[in-house]
């Protein structure tokens, strides 16, 4: 079996331009990104550079214009069934209770309803929502809905977890609680994680490796940093360590110019 859970190799993604359909826009080019089994990798980059595009390629939701994707050494065809995907936006079904939202994926896989509900309740307990299974999404706080979404992904026991800025909508305290919980759950199961974020502090606090993407167009990796901070980590506490500060300065040195370029592009688009 390949030592890599997920390999994106020489990926290029070209779209028809949103503003002018006769034009093409290359969002991502020459991008190779590998995540080992059990590794936690974060990808940071300026707004609109192509982070979600790359994650969609890894999930099999988007076929790249060039390049290939391998999952545990095998070429990916169609949807990546070894991966669970946690989106930036809410993906819960509002008409289903929390426990039904978590159970639905298990039922799709053919698990009998009673067993699926039992497992879903266990997962809700593990993410700190024991006793809330009967609530509908609108009866839960933003943090609780994120926990439900996390339980939904983890219940399927994926070998690869793809997360696209999952906590960006949360307040900072809830966010740190969730980050610590994700780290605890990850440490117990050691799945491969590809985590997309705008937030460099979050990326360093959580990851084994941080990959920096350039501003678009033709976004590509321009830096890769091994995060040699000891584990287990508390995401709030780890930020005070001198090594964290050192790594932050190093990575920000690479990311800063790209963020400024990305920001200038946003202003240009809005003008």
Q: Please give the residue ranges that form the binding site for ligand ATP (CB under 6 A).
A: 15, 18, 25, 27, 45, 47-53, 198, 216
Pick between residue 48 and residue 84 the one whose CB is nearest to ligand ATP: 48
User: CB 175 → ligand ATP: shortest distance, Å?
Assistant: 17
| 8 Å CB contact between 196 and 43 | yes
User: CB 271 → ligand ATP: shortest distance, Å?
Assistant: 16
Pick between residue 23 and residue 122 the one whose CB is nearest to ligand ATP: 23
User: CB 176 → ligand ATP: shortest distance, Å?
Assistant: 21
CB atoms within 10 A of CB 131: 9
Q: Which residue has the tokens 């740190």?
A: 176
Pick between residue 180 and residue 214 the one whose CB is nearest to ligand ATP: 214
User: CB 138 → ligand ATP: shortest distance, Å?
Assistant: 25
Q: What is the DSSP string of 174-215?
A: HHHHHHHHHHHHHHHH--EEEEEES-HHHHHHH-SEEEEEPP
User: CB 74 → ligand ATP: shortest distance, Å?
Assistant: 25
Pick between residue 97 and residue 146 the one whose CB is nearest to ligand ATP: 146
User: CB 106 → ligand ATP: shortest distance, Å?
Assistant: 29
Pick between residue 18 and residue 109 the one whose CB is nearest to ligand ATP: 18
Pairing state between β 40-44 and 209-213: parallel
Pick between residue 45 and residue 84 the one whose CB is nearest to ligand ATP: 45
Give me the long-range contacts of 165-172 (CB less than 8 A, separation at least 24): 165/88, 165/196, 165/197, 165/198, 166/86, 166/87, 166/88, 167/202, 168/88, 168/197, 168/198, 168/199, 169/88, 169/142, 170/142, 170/143, 170/146, 171/143
User: CB 54 → ligand ATP: shortest distance, Å?
Assistant: 7
Q: Among residues 125, 133, 131, which one has the least CA distance to residue 96?
A: 133
Pick between residue 63 and residue 226 the one whose CB is nearest to ligand ATP: 63
CB atoms within 10 A of CB 175: 19
Distance (Å, rounded) from C-alpha 59 to C-alpha 87?
11
* The two three-digit tokens of residue 88, written as one number: 């930036």
């Amino acid at each position: 079996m390949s030592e890599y859970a997920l390999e994106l190799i020489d990926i290029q993604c070209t779209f028809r331009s949103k503003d002018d359909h006769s034009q093409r826009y290359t969002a991502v080019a020459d991008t190779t990104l590998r995540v080992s089994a059990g590794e936690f990798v974060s990808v940071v980059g300026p707004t609109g550079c192509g982070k979600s595009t790359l994650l969609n390629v890894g999930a099999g939701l988007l076929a790249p214009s060039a390049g290939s994707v391998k999952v545990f050494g095998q070429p990916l065809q169609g949807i990546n069934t070894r991966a669970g995907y946690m989106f930036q936006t809410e993906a819960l079904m509002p008409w289903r209770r929390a426990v039904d939202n978590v159970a639905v994926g298990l039922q799709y896989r053919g698990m009998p309803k009673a067993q699926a509900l039992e497992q879903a309740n266990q997962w809700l307990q593990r993410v700190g929502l024991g006793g809330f299974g009967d609530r509908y999404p609108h009866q839960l706080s933003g943090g609780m809905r994120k926990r439900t979404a996390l339980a939904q992904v983890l219940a399927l026991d994926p070998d690869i977890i793809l997360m696209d800025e999952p906590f960006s909508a949360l307040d900072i305290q809830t966010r740190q609680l969730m980050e610590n919980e994700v780290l605890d759950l990850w440490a117990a199961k050691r799945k491969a994680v590809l985590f997309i974020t705008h937030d460099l502090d979050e990326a360093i606090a959580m990851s084994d490796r941080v990959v920096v993407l350039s501003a678009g167009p033709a976004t590509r990796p321009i830096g890769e940093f091994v995060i040699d901070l000891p584990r287990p980590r508390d995401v709030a506490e780890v930020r005070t360590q001198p090594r964290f500060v050192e790594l932050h300065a190093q990575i920000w040195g690479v990311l800063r110019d790209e963020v400024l370029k990305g920001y200038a592009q946003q202003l240009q688009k809005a003008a």
